[in-house]
Every structure is written in structure tokens, then in C-alpha cells.
Structure 1
Amino acid sequence: MGLSWQQGPLATGAIGHFLTPEPLPERLLFAEPLRRRVRVRFNGTWIADSEDVVVLHEPGRYPVAYFPRGDIAWQALTAMDKATRHRDLGDTAWYAVHAGDRTVERAAWEFTALPAHAAELQNKVAFAWRAMDALYEEDERILGHAADAYHRIDIRSTSRTLDVRLGGEPIARSERPLVLFESGFAPRWYVPRADIDETRLRPVEGRTFCPYKGLCDYYDVGAAHRAAWSYPEAYREVDRIGGLVSFEPDRVEVTLDGTSLHLEPGQGVVPHGADRGLDPDEPTDRRGG
């Protein structure tokens, strides 16, 4: 989630509000130094290497990393004729990126007529994430989008009883579920497979990718399509939920200590912007160099 998407404080769907006497602007953008070394690799060539990256948080988008011009192998960029205009940050110039025998158009961009209050983005360039081979922090590959210091996941054990039914028929019942708290999301409840009637789960094609949890598999539960999901090889940071199953409370009946759970609005994950499209094509190897 972070600051600016899902239900974060700068997102259009924020569930909280700032305690100020006057209303804030409809849109707030937030930029800050990342304070990490970030590198960009394209067609086997390092084309950017910087410890002075600025991350832009913009409502409705994943965070975007901007690199100082002086930290970019400028011979790898060619200015394109086409320009666009950002609603808040002005004119935007686009670049083709090339190395060896490979060229990708509209693979990088730069704001060229920034308002005075956005000067920290002056002479900085962002790269379309999916157009690059990979981006790294030090020697570890960063998947999904630029590092978001405001995204957090906590996993907690509980003795509360989670009950899952479909049309009144039992699907799962657990007195030891795990609850996953993720920035900007309602709590998600994960059930050990020993507490599930797995004959009611039917694997379906189509996986999704989460940059914080890994690759996600889905299941139909009876006629309820993709009503359950699991991270079979969850990243080590969240390995407590690895292989456990969570159920979508708008597709099956989920109760917690007898209280019905409901899907909160604004919980869907949607890719935004030229820099990013989250899908399972992301490699799972996070090492590089």
C-alpha cells in the first residue's frame, strides 16, 4: 500500500483523514530521498547506478524511483519526439532506451517544466520498470515497484474461531488461523490446510504477483470463482502464511467468532502508470549482480 494507493493517507480511497482545520488539496504528491543505492540493468548493461534516488508517491500509483541525470549512462537514452503533460508536474519528455541490439521506446521519462514546489525532481529520470531487465538495491533484485518505506506487513496468531461455509455447507473451521495486517488493507485471515476440507477447493489457472508476498495461486470453492487463494512459496519475510489458505468474504460465508466478515471497498489491486504492471511474469529470483 504505502502512502498513495489502496487506502493509504494520500490515496483517493483513504479511510483516515488529516486532522487539520482546513481541507487539504484533492491530490497530494510526496517526494523523498530513498537513501539506498539503486541500479538499473538493461540488456545485460548497467545503465543507472545512484545513491541519490528520489521516490515519488502519487495518488493511485505505485511509488516511482527517479534517478539523477549524472548517475545515468546517458548514451543509453535517446530523446523521442513525443511528449505528454502530467496533470500536476507539467511537461514530460520521453526517451527510448537502448543497449547492444535492443531498443525499447517510451522506456524512460523526465519532467521538463516542473513547478517550483517540485524542484527535487528536476533533472531526474524514471525508468519503465517492466521495460528494464531489473532494478536492484545493492545486489538484490527489487520486484514489483520501487521500495516503499511505508508498506508494512504484520502476521499474528489468534485463538479466535474462523468458520467458512458455502450455502451453509462447511468448508473450513479453525481455532488457530493467522491474521495478516497489511498497510492499507483490511485484515486477511489464513487457515492451515489441516483445518480445511480440501476436496472443496479446485485449483484454477491464473496466478498473480505481490511484491511483498510472492506468487499467489487461486481456487474455486464450489460455484464461487477464485474464492480462495494461497502463497505456496511465500517470501521469507512472510513465510508464516506459506501454503495456508485465505477466503474471500464476498464469495463465501466467512465468520470470525460468529461475526460475518465482508469485503471492504477499495481492496482490489490494480496496476497504474507506465512504470508498472504487476503480474506473475516477474521472476522469483531476487538475487542479481
Structure 2
Amino acid sequence: MTADYPKMIVPVDHTEPVPRRVRAMLNGRTVLDTTRAVYVWEGPNYPQYYIPAADLDPALVVDEDHVQQLKRGSARRIGLRAGDQDRPAAGRIYTDGPVEGLARLDWDALDAWFEEDEEVFVHPRNPYSRVDALRSTRTVRVSLDGVTLAESASPVMVFETGLPTRYYLNRTDVDFTHLEASPTRTSCPYKGRTSDYWSVRIGAAVHQDLAWAYTFPTAALLPIAGLVSFYNEKVDIHLDGRPLDRPVTHFS
């Protein structure tokens, strides 16, 4: 059975200082640059950045003259404008309550976010989550409907808090005669942006988007660069000859 790593649950609205420099860009302009950001857990699984309003570039902030009464206090809605790029309703600045003086910007209102000098995707990384990529000599076989798709004795195993172990395999160990390139691309806060996705064709049946690769993953996940992984939830995996149960996750 696949190892099940429970998520580190942090109370909703728990806050902590962010120990890293945080920056965000819009249309080539730096909207925010701070070493005073705060993690706020609005939900249990990962936090959001709350930024001191004084660390936003005032030349790029548009006061929309709209006051909101929210769970965390009163807030003034703001937009962003950088050159010819307008992002209305891009966030809010709290004027009272426990996060007074802090701004919460919508992630997708910015073109790019950075922790120190490394780009971060999708949402802030949870400081209580961990992702490790470890080389192994265990034998991994991936199959679907009785057809072997890949088999390797040199996988890289990725252990990520809250997800089943992922097995990344050399491309020479993958039978690409059953794989069809897909235009799908996804992003992960911990691994970066995928460079490739594949669907699996077995006979007349096409199983969409079962495998992926990161050509340029984040620095911490460099061991998986160029390797191929499959959704454990959707294929059959044998580890050292032992069949693993298909885990149930939000990818199932």
C-alpha cells in the first residue's frame, strides 16, 4: 500500500512572519518588495501572503474607493495599474482588525511572485510542507489495462507532504508507443511548471493526461529534471514486484 503522509494542519487564521524576501511583478514593474510579509492561513492547507501596505509601490496602486466589511476587519479595495496593464479589484488593504495595515493581493492579479530570487507558482509554499526527491534502486513498473507503460530500476522517488509517493522514471524506461503528447501544462508551488504532459492510448481508448515531466524544476527538485511520472491514482504500479493500491486524492 502506498504510504499516506497526512497534511500538517494549521489552524485557520493562524499567522506567522515570513522569513523570506517576497516580491511580485506586473508588466515588468515591481508591485511589492518586502521582508515583512506575514503568512495568514485562511484555510488549513497552505497560507496566503499578507503584505505591509507601505511595501506596495504607491504609483501602481489604484484606490477603488470601495470599503468592504470582511471577516478580518474593514478593508479598502484596490486595483493595480502598470503601464497599459490594468488589474481591477486586485486586492484589499485592511484598515482595522487583526491584520490592520496589511494588503492581501489576489495571486493571479500579478504576473509573477518570488521568494528571494526563486519564482513561486500557484500559491505560497506552506512552511510545514516538505518535498524530497530521493534516488532509488527499487524496481517500479507502471501499467494500465494489463499493458506495461514503464519499468525502471533507477527511479527518483518524490515524497511530498499530503500526497502519495511519486515515481519519476528515465525516459528510456518509458514505452512512448502508448503515449500521446498533450497540450496540458500545470504548475506546482514546490516543483515549478511542467514542460510536458502525455495521454495514454491503449487500443481505441485514450486516457487523458496520465503522465508529465518537468524539464526545469525548482532547484530543490533538480533530480526529477526530464524524468517522467504517472498519476498513481489512475495507473497500476508495482514496487519491487508488489502491487500498490491506487491512492485516493483530489487527482483521482
| 3-state secondary structure, aligned to 1:48 | strand
- 1:154 is matched with which residue? 132
Alpha-carbon displacement from aligned partner over 1:181-230 (angstroms, at most 9, x marks no partner): 01221111122222222212221221112232233222122232222222
Query: Is residue 2:80 matched to residue 1:97?
Result: yes
Pick one of 208, 219, 231 that aligns with 2:198: 219
Query: Is residue 2:21 matched to residue 1:37?
Result: yes
Alpha-carbon displacement from aligned partner over 1:74-132 (angstroms, at most 9, x marks no partner): 3533333555555x524443211224444321112134453xxxx2x221002223222
- 1:232 is matched with which residue? 215
Using the alignment, how far apart are the partners of 1:62 and 1:264 within structure 2?
Answer: 22
Greater strand proportion:
2
Q: Please, which runs of 5 or more residues in structure 1 have no aligned partner?
A: 1-5, 12-26, 270-289
- 1:252 is matched with which residue? 235
> Equivalences for 1:98-177 in 2 at 5 Å?
98-112=81-95, 114=97, 119=98, 121-177=99-155
CA-CA distance at 1:180 after TM superposition = 0.5
Aligned AA (1:39): R
Contact 1:247 1:254 in 2 (8 A): no
| 3-state secondary structure, aligned to 1:59 | coil
Alpha-carbon displacement from aligned partner over 1:133-172 (angstroms, at most 9, x marks no partner): 4333445444433343233211223332212222222222
Output the TM-score relative to the length of structure 2: 0.81
Output the TM-score relative to the length of structure 1: 0.72
CA 59–260 in structure 1, closer or farther in 2 if over 3 Å, else same: farther
Q: CA RMSD in A?
A: 2.8
Q: Please, which runs of 5 or more residues in structure 2 have no aligned partner?
A: none
> Equivalences for 1:71-90 in 2 at 5 Å?
71-82=55-66, 86=70, 88-90=71-73
- 1:9 is matched with which residue? 8
| 3-state secondary structure, aligned to 1:206 | coil
Contact 2:121 2:192 in 1 (8 A): no
Using the alignment, how far apart are the partners of 2:102 and 2:247 within structure 1?
Answer: 38
CA 189–79 in structure 1, closer or farther in 2 if over 3 Å, else same: same
